[in-house]
Amino acid sequence: MRVGVVTFPGSLDDVDAQRAVRLAGAEPVALWHGDHDLAGVDAVVLPGGFSYGDYLRAGAIARFAPVMTEVVDAARGGMPVLGICNGFQILCESHLLPGALIRNDHRRFGCLDQRVVVENARTAWTTSYAEGQQLTIVLKNGEGSFVADEHTLDALEAEGRVVARYVGENPNGSQRGIAGVTNEAGNVVGLMPHPEHAVEDLTGPGTDGLGFFTSVLGALASR
């Protein structure tokens, strides 16, 4: 199986995401922001970083990258898409996911090993976990506070579309402690923590993040 990882100008974690894909057992395929096709990949990861320098607003310019036209169409057609940190911001700006990511409530960039609890283990990216399972994953962001209007938040809760929630002290002021959400179909997931930095015992806090990448392989195999 082939999983595309998009590189935008300013992406920082694209190579890390490619490595995570490889460790999960798939073939990583490098995609460029200016590409007009997805090279026949089976799934797509939008990695963390500062796409286009995060000028204007995080993810706002990347939304208009040529490759995103293809990603949006593919996602709406059912292709699994994972947005990590800046990738989550891009998914929200592209209206594939609801809400927005704004500056952390403490107005500082945070970098820590963060505990999260998996609340939806039925998406294309979370089936390797159990609902209620706690993970320790790297969190590093300056604009990681998830916000939405109360109606949207209530709908996300009622429909089980909160994928992960922070455990313990809220690290960035996200409403209702939300760390990740999914679309209605469950193929598109946005996650503020970085699972690609928790895939090996040698580096990072452990291997709790690897399940996001093995999950999508299982989802693709079951089609």
Q: What is the CB neighbour count within 10 angstroms for residue 80?
A: 26
Distance separating alpha carbons of residues 156 and 109, to the nearest angstrom:
27
Two structure tokens written together for 17: 């995401």
CA–chain centroid gap for 172, Å, is: 16
Residue showing tokens 């996001």: 212
| Residue tagged active-site, from 70, 119, 143, 196 | 196
Q: SS3 of 108, please?
A: coil
| Residue tagged active-site, from 93, 119, 194, 197 | 194
Active site residue 196: yes
Query: Would you list the DSSP string of 55-82?
Result: -SSTTTTGGGSHHHHHHHHHHHTT--EE
Active site residue 197: no
Report how far apart, in Å, the C-alpha atoms of 208 and of each of 1, 85, 101, 120, 127 are: 22, 17, 24, 16, 13
Two structure tokens written together for 38: 């997805």
| Residue tagged active-site, from 33, 85, 92, 197 | 85
Catalytic residues: 85, 194, 196
